[in-house]
Structure 1
Amino acid sequence: MSFVQVEHVMKSYGEVPVLKDISFSVEEGEFLTLLGPSGCGKSTLLRAIAGLNDIDSGKMFIGGRDITSLSPKDRQVGMVFQSYALFPNMSVFDNIAFGLKMGKMKKAEYTPLVEQMIEIIDLKGKENYYPNQLSGGQQQRVALGRSLVKRPKVLLLDEPLSALDAKIRRSLRNEIRQLQRKLNMTTIFVTHDQEEALTVSDRIIVMNNGEIEQQGTSEEIYTLPGTEFVARFIGSYNVWSRPEMEQAGFADIPSGDLFAIRPEVISIVPQAAVAAHDAGYMYTIGYMKHYAILGNVVRYHVDIGGLDASVDVLNDSGLLHLRENEAVRLAIPMEKCQPLKKLG
């Protein structure tokens, strides 16, 4: 049995099903992310593992022990929420020590544990600071330290970075990942941010409407989406049906009815520069609509028979001279045309 095992978990609120027969496992030391849009059930599932939400049916195990009916305090999990929930009248030291105090541990016993955790979360020298004297990122580290100091078997993170600005989020998510690896802490992380999930995870479970759409490594989820929902949610895929591609002028379309094509695998060249077709590629003619500079990537939007094709090119390609309505030809490797299961 895996370290964390969730088996056939179901949960409804009244007549509305929120979790529909959810089953998955997490290996010891693994960083698993539950990814999906708001309302898909990911936070409800995380809270169920923590014991904060009951379930209608199913079983949950940690380390081979059935925790389904245990109280939250007996599950040996640590949870960090979107709101830091720090005590404003307590110092960094006392906030981190709070759970140990409540567990009746003596100060002489918990002091070295708290000091070690303060060093691990890189807040040494700020032991006596109060939450209002810390930045948002520092406050989140205190919340993280408060959960980790009790050495839980599993760390649960419920969108812990969503209240932070983009730069701090990127920095702190990397710190969390490094800390998780250092402690070999089994972690389940909830987010709706695709980039965040792809960056930190060993494995991702994509959820939609209370169900698991797909699970796999970051590379598998990004490069091999299995359903229309995953392709549309996980990135900037072009999702086209066979009739749409035929109408747009593509020839030699692979077998299948619906396809996902990553914008970075499409080549774009001015119409005048095109020579003979290369085997293994689909070609069609389109017209430049506009482009957007996304830092090191330029995203072109090309009209091909009524379809809006997104094409990503590194921002050193020299293609910025392409004019609006200029004719171009798109080339797509057939092996990069990923067949999908349709929604519904």
Structure 2
Amino acid sequence: MYANDNALQAQVTDLQNELLPTSFITNTPNWSNPPTNTAPSVKAAYLKAKRVLNTFSGWILDFWTSRTSPVTSAWSSVCWSPSLGMFVAVSDGAADTYRSMSSMNGINWGANSCPDNQWTSVCWSPSLSLFVAIAKSGTGNRVMTSSNGTNWTSRTSAADNQWTSVCWSSELNLFVAVASSGTGNRVMTSSNGIDWVARTSAADNNWSSVCWSPQLGLFAAVGTLMDIGVMTSPDGIVWTSRYVAGDHWRSICWSNELGIFLAVGYGVGVFQILVSSDGINWQSNGVMNGGYWTSISWSSELNLFVALATGGFMGNGIMTSSDGVNWCLRKIQVFFGTALCWSPELGIFVAVANDSGIMTTRNGIGK
């Protein structure tokens, strides 16, 4: 047992001693949304338990385990469905036979048949109970949907652009996808995942990632071209360019707890981090490792940003931050990572790679 294991166990024991009555002790606590019908002492213990997780979050991220891919495939994106209790990943490999896989625990994966496009991004809509994936290849069919993560249906895309990223806004009941090709139409939207409408993009940048901020009521997309590296929209329809320092921004996410957008990339020079609290004013920062950062994810339960790099520099393929400013490099085996996803219910991160790789953090801290 590691020293940190002993310390964590001691704090967990203290928490159990605080729980009165003891019948409230549960093996499946809900860290994000403590029940409101429990005794105040129990609710306080839930919050204290979350603080314990924050304390040991770095320890959790220092341990990654390789998992076996069901097929050889260039995995490009992964997401989590809380209601299905399922991870789904898609592939953009041009010659891959199976371009989708799913898992209930992040450990055991099964390959699923789907249209043979090069799928670049997948996301889940809790309102529609629907997965949507978008592709950079195909003729008129660069969207597919699934209600169970295993059976997929082709949908007509708004244009045959190279679609790179898709996200869902529960507040607007809207999917938004962005592309790295097209002329003035590098955005498309859908309220149901089936019918898609092309939208005018703020600029013909190579848009690589898009996310939604419920607090700001704002979409933000990042791209790989110099200067016009960001565009924002309150409705997914009208977009505005934002000028930022640096280029080659690859992934963006939002932290409700910190109230900031954070993007990562692999621009030449010192800029690999991009931060904004309003989506309008952006601050570019560097990190100690000039890695090729490809994906960023936020865990509310751990109060932590986790970034993934492809290849990794001297084994430092992961970096973490609790504030988006100060970063700590984490060791991971050489891994050509492309996407990262957090499951609050399982309490694990899953990372996928373009060489069929799958990695997970240690588990057992989920809701």
TM-score bracket, normalised by the shorter chain, equals under 0.3
- Higher helix proportion: 1
- TM-score, with length taken from structure 1: 0.25
- TM-score, with length taken from structure 2: 0.24
- Higher strand proportion: 2
Flag the structure with more relative contact order, 1 or 2, with Cα contacts below 8 A and sequence separation at least 6.
1
Select the structure of larger CA radius of gyration.
1
